[in-house]
Structure 1
Amino acid sequence: MIKNWIYKCSCWGLIALLMLALTGCMKEQEPTAVQPSPTLEGNTAPDETKGTVSIEKLGERRIFVYLPPGYETGEDRYPVVYMNDGRSVFNTGTSSFNKEWLVDKKVDQLVNDGKMEKVIVIAVDAGEGSDRGKEYVPFPNDSIPTDGTGAEEFTRYFIETVIPFADSTYRTIPDRDHRMIMGSSFGGVQAFWMGYHHPETFSMIGALSASTWVANGQAYDDWVQETGKPDVKIWLDMGAEEGMVIDPLVDLLLSKGFKYGQDLFFQMDPIGEHDEISWSRRVHNPLIMFAGKAPGQAVKLEVSDYLSISGMGDSYLRLNPVATMDNGMDYSVPSEASYKVLNPEVGQVDPSGKVTFLKHEDLRVEVTYQGMTQLYDIENDR
């Protein structure tokens, strides 16, 4: 789903022939290890600063594969980022909405900047039309429609077929500490659900703009019933323009023992929408969480606000301080920051960032996090 890395028109004929040959060779059978296909970047000499992307087929399903710079000439083994909605991860030409995440370019840049280690990315294509919802939504939902069992079948396919294929075909580090699962929208729901229930397989989860509205919020009811705390790190985010509930899930995970800033991170993107452009802008965060250094000191603080919805359905304005950390991550710190209201006769801000107005005037607040302070005016025009 964001920029097209297939930039030479002369490559299209080669690609078509390659895909036709692959389709003719693959039968409906148990997948076996295959050699990586030629990359879609052309036949030029390898650029040691850029990875390569190819397409494999596993039965009838496409698997999009990013290999890091130097893979072809070295012997190193690598951690693996697994992603849902594979057609939109690297290439606008294969995406459903002519947008992509730019994940190959994001990884290349982060590696070259020293912010993360090299990784392999395995992006698994989704089913067509309603099949995508059936594979990704683990709850009964009449609007898809699905009874929720398709997500269980897709999870088994992922764990029993996709991962063994990757481990037998590429130089992966084949253990749970070196695997992450990531997705967005319905794919974010599935990534969260699969990773949360299979910590023996994945050590980290990236759920961007997870569609929390599915099944009338049954996701929360289901996760509230979960006992114990899985040994995983979790990245969650949402765009302020999306209008979807996310704060209750963050609060739920905190209640189960997750430690914010250690194994749980969240960002409310002030300008984020429900699209690949927004996910591309934020995807560096879960990538660094997985294969980079832990955050230490904040180097920048920006403040906004958004309409939050609690688990009880109550809505309120909440301050959204976003800290950029020394490891390159940026995430919201509303409960970690401190607040000083400069005109308290107008309103209050509680320790979680919740705003209460006493007068119909703008509220002036000093927001401080790790020694950094920003003055912010909260407009009372709602």
Structure 2
Amino acid sequence: MGAKIITLANVYSKLLDISREVYVYLPPSYEKAKNRRYPVLYAQDGQHMFASDAKGDSWEMHQTAERLSREGRMNEVIIVAVSSISDQRAAEYFHDHPGVREAFHTTCKGELYERFLIEELKPMIDNKFRTLPDREHTAMIGSSAGGLVSYHIAFRRPDVFGQVAILSPFLVQTVVNEPEDGTSKQEPVYEQKLYHSYPVKPPGLRVWVDIGGAEGLIMPRQVRIFVDELIASGFTPGEDLMFLLDEEAGHAQTDWAKRLHNPLLYLFGEIGHPRSLKLAGRGRVGLQGHRVWLYPKVTYDTGFEISLLQAEYTVAPPEVLGVGSDGLIVPLAEGEAEIAVNFGGLADSMRIEVIPELSDHVQIEISVTVPPSTPADARIHAGFEIPKVRDGFYQGSFLLPRDLGFEVKVSRGFGFHERRETSRRFDTSEPVRLHFIVEEWEDDPFEKKG
């Protein structure tokens, strides 16, 4: 017999006083190898791990795990996919933190959800299935707010979870402000930290962290601050901390599915040997203003990918700029220089120009035309909210952090996106003026049917 997915319906939590579905993937050898026990991966937002629904595509986690196992690159695992509940997700995925209360005005149930996983669900799974229940063989994975709650649980309870994969973590609530007049003193972007920092590394914990380059206001800069905190607490990049900047990826199930093989190989398999090294990034930096990091990407012979948080750099001429081992570029004088990086016997290089100034923020103008079916009180978003000018037309001018990437569909509230085959992509590398025309909305109850 092959692999199978079992649905545990109406799994009740006394702590949370709510029921949910839990999906359990059993690997291909489970039925025949009666004496074999398996590592376990607990996944947040479990309804998206093995199948798609109206609110998101599937990670197809079972298919990726089976492929890697079949290729001999990863051990077989049991996957416990824990569904989130729409109207409880925000509360359950946030541990108590002043920033959460300020940003969302919600009750934080993260501690209770943590106890549900550890005190109620895990004992049931360990009793019902042939697991390896110790911390070394128990891992957790999640994305966005699911990545945030996975981080908090793993760092609070490393006695239970010895490994964690944190994908596109929702670490900071970012609000874009549009000044009402030229005299406004408010910051163009307000950032509220949502996570707890742990100054001492939990013993034995192994961590995967990644972020896409087109996730809009979930910024690589914020994640870089986070991973630097992990390094300061005692984690070692390339050993118990792996990081990936997936430059073209947005904030969507399909993006997480595409790079899922990386954390699976790190948590349960063999990453292999470095095969290629690529150094790329911004070609211009300023003596003043915007700080820039380099993220050399290493690809292994297994397909595993990481971005280097620490590397050996050389610069010619060194009078123009320097590069720290952490990849931070330090401009010294106007001109051009060539940066070379070496890792594991591999090398690559790129040229960078130093100019007098590169501002931290860029002016972006966005206007949106919407169809007549749009409710008059609709709030229109294109990565952030666009103010209404008149019925059918929205427009705003914003100062956004430089070098953000956006991959979005225009929306008019939760669950209502424009009907469009592909997402719209734009970035803030330079000032830009954009106009989006929404032809129709998906699943629009106000839309007239012919």
TM-score tier (shorter): 0.7 to 0.9
Preserved CA contact (<8 Å) 2:201 2:235: no
Preserved CA contact (<8 Å) 2:144 2:167: yes
Which residue identity does 1:81 align to in structure 2? L
Q: Which residues in structure 2 correspond to 1:149-168 (within 5 Å)?
A: 150-168=109-127
Instruction: Rate the CA distance shift 1:198–1:334 in 2: closer, same or farther, 3 A.
Output: closer
Q: 2:321 aligns with which of 324, 347, 359?
A: 347
Preserved CA contact (<8 Å) 2:50 2:58: yes
Instruction: Rate the CA distance shift 1:166–1:329 in 2: closer, same or farther, 3 A.
Output: same
Say if 2:110 is the partner of 1:134. no
Preserved CA contact (<8 Å) 1:86 1:126: yes
Aligned match of 1:300: 276
Higher helix share: 1
Say if 2:51 is the partner of 1:91. yes
- Scaled by the length of structure 1, the TM-score of the pair is 0.77
Aligned CA-pair RMSD: 2.4
Say if 2:75 is the partner of 1:117. yes
Question: Which structure's CA Rg is the greater one?
Answer: 2
Say if 2:304 is the partner of 1:333. no
SS in 1 for 2:29: coil
How far 1:348 sits from its partner (Å)? 3.1
- Scaled by the length of structure 2, the TM-score of the pair is 0.66
Higher strand share: 2
How far 1:203 sits from its partner (Å)? 0.7
Deviation per CA, 1:172-218, whole angstroms, max 9, x where unpaired?
11221110011000000000000111111111011101101048114
Deviation per CA, 1:277-304, whole angstroms, max 9, x where unpaired?
22112222221122113x5641121223
Preserved CA contact (<8 Å) 1:84 1:125: yes
SS in 1 for 2:293: strand
How far 1:256 sits from its partner (Å)? 1.4
Q: Which residues in structure 2 correspond to 1:210-359 (within 5 Å)?
A: 210-214=169-173, 216-219=192-195, 222-224=196-198, 226-227=199-200, 229-242=202-215, 243-244=218-219, 245-293=222-270, 295=271, 297-305=273-281, 315-326=290-301, 328-335=303-310, 337-344=311-318, 346-357=320-331
**% same residue:** 30
Instruction: Rate the CA distance shift 1:62–1:360 in 2: closer, same or farther, 3 A.
Output: farther
Query: How many residues get paired?
Result: 319
Q: 1:372 aligns with which of 346, 351, 359?
A: 346
Instruction: Rate the CA distance shift 1:296–1:70 in 2: closer, same or farther, 3 A.
Output: closer
Structure 2 CA distance for aligned equivalents of residues 379 and 66 of structure 1: 51
SS in 1 for 2:69: helix
Structure 1 CA distance for aligned equivalents of residues 282 and 68 of structure 2: 29
Which residue identity does 1:104 align to in structure 2? H
Preserved CA contact (<8 Å) 1:240 1:306: no
Aligned match of 1:63: 22
Instruction: Rate the CA distance shift 1:364–1:230 in 2: closer, same or farther, 3 A.
Output: same
Preserved CA contact (<8 Å) 1:270 1:305: no
Preserved CA contact (<8 Å) 2:200 2:234: no
Preserved CA contact (<8 Å) 1:84 1:182: yes
How far 1:89 sits from its partner (Å)? 1.0
Which residue identity does 2:77 align to in structure 1? V
Instruction: Rate the CA distance shift 1:360–1:62 in 2: closer, same or farther, 3 A.
Output: farther
Structure 2: where are the runs of 5+ without partners? 13-18, 174-190, 284-288, 355-428, 431-450
Which residue identity does 1:181 align to in structure 2? M
Which residue identity does 2:91 align to in structure 1? K
How far 1:114 sits from its partner (Å)? 1.0
How far 1:73 sits from its partner (Å)? 2.6
